[in-house]
Amino acid sequence: MMETQNLGNSDLAITRIGLGAWAIGGSWQWGWGSQEDQDSIATLHQALDAGINWIDTAPVYGLGHSETVIGQMLKERSNKPYIFTKCSFVWDDQQEINTTLKAASVRQEVEDSLQRLGVDVIDLYQIHWPNPEPEIEEGWETLAQLKQEGKVRYIGLSNFNPAQMDRLAAIAPITSLQPPYSLVKREVETEILPYCEQHNIGVIAYSPMGSGLLSGKMTQERMANLAEDDWRRKDNEFQEPRLSRNLELVEVLRTIGEKHGCGPAAVAIAWVCGNSAVTGAIVGMRRPDQVEGVMQAANLHLDPDDLSRIHDFLEQHP
C-alpha cells in the first residue's frame, strides 16, 4: 500500500505520487512531442494498478486531448482515481491560446472539462496561472460558486505567490497550491512552501524530476535529439553550462539510489516529497515501462547521510 496524506483542508487522501498528464496531450505549442493514445491509456492503467490514486491534467494540455484520453481510460475502470484539472487557458479555432478568468469563461471551461473527462464532478479544480492578474478574484469567486454548486469538490491554485494567495484567501479557503519544485528549481523554499505550511494549504509539486532532467535517462546526446516541438529545448536547465552541472547531480542521485535499490529518478522524487510542506509530487509518465521506476519513490525515505550528500553538492554547485 502506498502512503497517503490529506491534501490541505480537504478529505482527499492522496498518494505521495500522482500522475501528471501534460505529455499525454501529445503535440501542441508547449508539448513534449508526439504521443500514441494507446501508450497513454496503458500507462494510466498501469500507474493506477500500481497504487497511484490521482491524476493531474489541464484542458490546455494538447488543447483538450489530455482530458479526452483520461476520459477514455476512466470508462474502462471500476475503481476510479481522483481527477485534478485546471482553468484559465483558452484557445480559439486557430489554436491561438489566451488566458482569461472571467466568470462566464471559467464556467464554460468546467463544463467542457466535465464532458471530456466523462465525470459528474471534478475532485480538485485549480486556476492554472494567475493570468490575467486583475481577474484572479473574479476567477476564484467563480470557483467557489462551482464548489457550492457541486461541480467541483475542492478548489486550488497553481503557480501563485503568497501575496496573490492572500488576496484569494479572503474570498474562499485555498485547498492546495501546485508549484514547480525540484533539486534544480528550489525558489519556492524561500516563501511559498512556508506560507502553505502555515496556512494548511496542501502542496502538490510539479516537475520533481526537473522535467526529466533528473530521471537518469537524460544525456547530452539525448538532449541534442529531442523532438523539435519539445518545449525543453527552450529551457536554460537543459542548455550548457547548466546541463553538465545537472547531469553531475544525477550521478550523485544514482549513487544514493544504488544503496536503496532504485534509480536516480526515485531519489529526486523522494527528496521533493521529503519536504514537510509537500503533500505529493506530480510525475509525468508516457509509457508503461516508466511506471516501475517512479513507483520506487513512493515509499522511499532518504536518510540523513543521503540528504547530506545532496546538500553538499548543492552548496558546491549553486
pLDDT tens digits, residue range 29-76?
776 678 899 999 999 999 999 999 999 999 999 999 999 999 999 999
Are 179 and 192 contacting, i.e. CB atoms less than 8 angstroms apart?
yes
In this prediction, residue 257 carries a pLDDT of 96
Of the chain, the end-to-end C-alpha distance in Å amounts to: 37
For position 112, what pLDDT does the model report?
A: 98
- Output the pLDDT for position 41: 97
pLDDT tens-digit profile of 212-230? 889 888 777 777 777 777 7
Residue ranges of domains in the chain, CATH in brackets: 4-316 (3.20.20.100)
Residue 280 has what pLDDT?
A: 98
pLDDT of residue 294: 87
Nearest to 127 by CA among 119, 116, 138: 138
Q: Is 89 helix (H, G, I), strand (E, B) or coil?
A: strand
Is 61 annotated as catalytic?
yes
Tell me the whole-structure pTM to 2 decimals: 0.93
pLDDT at residue number 284 = 92
Q: Enter the C-alpha cell of residue 305.
A: 547521510
Residue 254 · residue 264 · CB < 8 Å: yes
| Residue 216 · residue 254 · CB < 8 Å | yes
For a pLDDT cut of 90, what percent of the chain falls above it? 81
- What pLDDT does 279 receive? 98
Parts of the chain with a pLDDT under 70: 28, 31-32
- pLDDT value for 240: 83
